[in-house]
Amino acid sequence: MEVNRIELIEALTKIKPGIASKEYLEQSTHFILDNDFIISYNDEISISYPFKIGVSCTIEEGMLYKLVSKMEEDIVSFELKENILRIKCGDVKAKLPVVIDSQIIDYVNKLSDEHDKLDWHALPKDFIDAVKLCAFSASTDKTINMLSCVWVEGKDVLSFDKYRASWYQMEKEVQDNFYIEADHITKIGGFEDPIEYCISKAWAHFQMGTGVVFSARLVLPDKLLDLRSKFDGFEHDTRISLPDNLGKAVDIVALAIEKREKLDQKITLEFGEDLIRCIGSSERGTIEQEVHLDKSLTCDPFAFEAAPRSMMEVLDKVDYLLVGKKAGMFRSKEKKGFQHMIGLIMKE
């Protein structure tokens, strides 16, 4: 079977989120080649990508990806003989060991059967926007269970990690409520927007217009909190209109921390009198920028820390900040829009 090398690289790259970093499950670090599809499966995420490759087996991800990436000709041919995959591209020839019979293929087939038997429902057009805006507020501690998830309930997409919370109201409702770890559901952002979904007892499946199916394992709710009450009952004394250039300032000071590990990527925003001081600081140095407010503060000075990329996404959707005793609430002007709550550091 001959295939286009560039198209193959694109397919392999797209399904990588479903490849395990360590083989806790046999062949979960492999690409699954299934004649008309290339698939990944790591027991938490599975991605099925339509691609006519003409062979059926599993092959170690690193070897195949690196080999195809280093080839130079446009066409790659595949031929399977027993448990050896023969690959040819120009003057490059390879014989790679593969696995023909694997339990992981049974897992993948089970998911495929679910796709065929379940009812698919249309997704709201702003579903991906909602997920992107809310996912960063979920906890990174998976032992907390529900707090590490993005909650999708009717029109509402919510997340909460004890220190911050996000709530986005979509244009339309979903028919099924579901809960997925934020780290998993955000990986769907690497594809074009999904157009429909279906839910089984253990998985949520999202289908793109191209036929790609992204599947993520559901988290079964152990204890549901009323997250909306945290927003509806928010008490505040001060409303601050956010300057248009605040996002640009956040982007600039973030240069000081861009090489840090993601969990440590935090900048500080200090609100005092008539300005906001944005600060990025690390062993590489410190960058500050002041952004002036239209009106002086009517509350005591305060500050908060935030991941710069997430804060820029928030600032792109909101217009003002409500200041309470221990927390701040970012809101958009729209009645049913995006809201984000964050804990504040109050200063004397």
Q: What is the pLDDT of residues 185-240, one digit of tens each?
A: 999 988 888 999 999 999 999 999 999 999 999 998 776 667 777 788 788 889 99
Reported as a pLDDT band with limits 50, 70 and 90, residue 303 is very high
Q: Residue 256 in contact with residue 283, Cβ under 8 Å?
A: no
pLDDT band at 333 (very low <50, low <70, confident <90, very high): confident
Tens digit of each residue's pLDDT (9 = 90 or more) over 136-169: 889 888 777 788 999 999 999 999 887 889 999 9
Q: What gap in Å lies between CA 240 and CA 298, rounded to an integer?
A: 9
Number of Cβ atoms within 10 Å of the Cβ of 53: 21
Using one digit for the tens of pLDDT, what is the confidence trace for 11-59? 999 999 999 998 888 899 999 999 999 999 999 999 999 999 999 999 9
Mean pLDDT of 255-267: 74
Answer whether 133's CB lies under 8 Å from 314's CB. yes
Mean pLDDT check: name the lowest of 16-30, 77-91, 96-110, 321-335: 321-335
Residues in Cβ contact with 297 at an 8 Å cutoff, skipping those fewer than 6 apart: 238, 240, 271, 272, 273, 274
Q: Tokens standing for 59? A: 């092959």
313 and 333 Cβ atoms separated by less than 8 Å: no
pLDDT reported for residue 298: 87
CA distance 52 to 7: 11
- Taking the C-alpha atoms of residue 339 and residue 169, their distance in angstroms, rounded to an integer, is 9
Task: Please state which architecture CATH assigns to domain 234-346.
Answer: Roll (3.10)
Q: Which two tokens stand for residue 348?
A: 């004397």
Query: What was the pLDDT predicted at 190?
Result: 86
What does the mean pLDDT of the chain come to?
90
Could you write out the DSSP letters of every residue in 2-52? EEEHHHHHHHHHHTGGGS-SS-SSTTTTEEEEETTEEEEE-SSEEEEEE--
Same fold, 2-117 and 234-346: yes
| Cβ–Cβ under 8 Å, residues 142 and 222 | no
CA angle 8, 13, 14 (to 5 degrees): 100
What is the domain partition of the chain in residue ranges? 2-117, 122-155+170-222, 234-346
Give the whole-angstrom CA distance, residue 180 versus residue 167: 15
The CATH code for residues 2-117 is 3.10.150.10
Q: Name every residue whose Cβ is closer than 8 Å to that of residue 116 and which is 6 or more positions away in sequence.
A: none
Is residue 279 within 8 A of residue 270, CB to CB? The reply is yes
Quote the pTM value. 0.88
